[in-house]
Amino acid sequence: MESLDQISQELLETIERYLNHTMGDTERITFMAKLESDTTLQQQVKDVALILNGIETTVLEEKMDQFHKEIAPSTPEKKVISMGQKRRKFIAYGIAASVILALGLFWVFNQKNTSQKLFAEHFSPDPGLPTTMSSTTNFAFYDAMVDYKREEYEKAIEKWQTQLPLKPKNDTLNYFIGVSYLAQGNEYEAIRHLNLASQVPGSAFYEDIFYYLGLGHLKAGKPEAATVNFKLSNREEAKEILLELDH
């Protein structure tokens, strides 16, 4: 593993943007193209990811230490407390903290499991557009649509991504790329592209964009965000899921 001082500050910031999904479309496409052929860069991305995960773990441990310090019983001045009393209080606080933490984790995981269960029950990819291959002007788009309909989503995404720099805000491209990512299980990229598609006023995919955005947030374990998007879609499936989320 490389240490951080062996990676330039500029490259480190670029890799962090990539890992945190904060790159712009053009930068991400360029970076991913380089990443595919540059084995050194691939290793650097892995190393930075490991280092960042280690930092997050350390921060979490420090927060937990601080949490235990805050809940630890304070000893009033001039009051003698036996070791037995201290031990009993410490155990009591420890049990209370453990129960609170366990309940919190149970709620989070239960919410996420419920959301992902709903996603699995309701997700099916958009059937796609008719593949009119006679259209020479849109041949590249429909060529990718053939892959999409064959459920070869990686090929479809790769072909559509090459067209995206010329039309970065195109609702059709972003919509089908987003749905393809969702079919692959990559809800974060799906949400990013569907959000771009949703910014096109009067899009022919309006109802579908917000339906799949809702599904993307369900898969990400974010039922509140999913609810907001389902309410913007008039699809019957969206209404059904909203009823299930209310129960």
Q: What is the mean pLDDT of residues 178-194?
A: 96
Domain boundary residue, one of 30, 45, 71: 71
- Report yes or no on 96 lying in a domain: no
C-alpha span between 163 and 48 (Å, rounded): 30
∠ Cα 128 25 19 (to 5°): 105
Q: What is the mean pLDDT of residues 204-222?
A: 94
Of 223, 234, 171, which is closest to residue 197 (Cα–Cα)? 171
Of 226, 247, 228, 232, which is closest to residue 122 (Cα–Cα)? 226
Binning pLDDT at 50, 70 and 90, where does residue 137 land?
A: low
- Report yes or no on 78 lying in a domain: no
Per-residue pLDDT at 108: 41
- The per-residue pLDDT of the chain, averaged, comes to 79
Q: What is the mean pLDDT of residues 79-95?
A: 51
CA-CA-CA-CA torsion sign (11, 17, 19, 21): negative
Binning pLDDT at 50, 70 and 90, where does residue 194 land?
A: very high
- Report yes or no on 93 lying in a domain: no
> Is pLDDT at 62 greater than 90 in this prediction?
no
* Domain span holding position 235: 121-246
Per-residue pLDDT at 175: 97
Binning pLDDT at 50, 70 and 90, where does residue 130 land?
A: confident
Binning pLDDT at 50, 70 and 90, where does residue 241 land?
A: very high
Shared domain for 63 and 162, answered yes or no, is: no
Per-residue pLDDT at 159: 95
Going from the C-alpha of 170 to that of each of 60, 143, 161, 162, 238, the distances in angstroms are 41, 17, 11, 13, 24
Per-residue pLDDT at 12: 82
Shared domain for 234 and 152, answered yes or no, is: yes
Q: What is the mean pLDDT of residues 28-38?
A: 87
Q: What is the mean pLDDT of residues 125-136?
A: 74
Q: Identify the residue with better confidence: 43 or 106.
A: 43
> Is pLDDT at 101 greater than 50 in this prediction?
no
Shared domain for 55 and 135, answered yes or no, is: no
Which residues are CB-neighbours of 56 under 8 A, at least 6 positions away? none
Shared domain for 141 and 49, answered yes or no, is: no
- Report yes or no on 115 lying in a domain: no
Binning pLDDT at 50, 70 and 90, where does residue 100 land?
A: very low
Rg of the chain over Cα atoms, rounded to whole angstroms, equals 24
Shared domain for 126 and 11, answered yes or no, is: no
pTM for the full predicted model: 0.57
> Is pLDDT at 105 greater than 50 in this prediction?
no
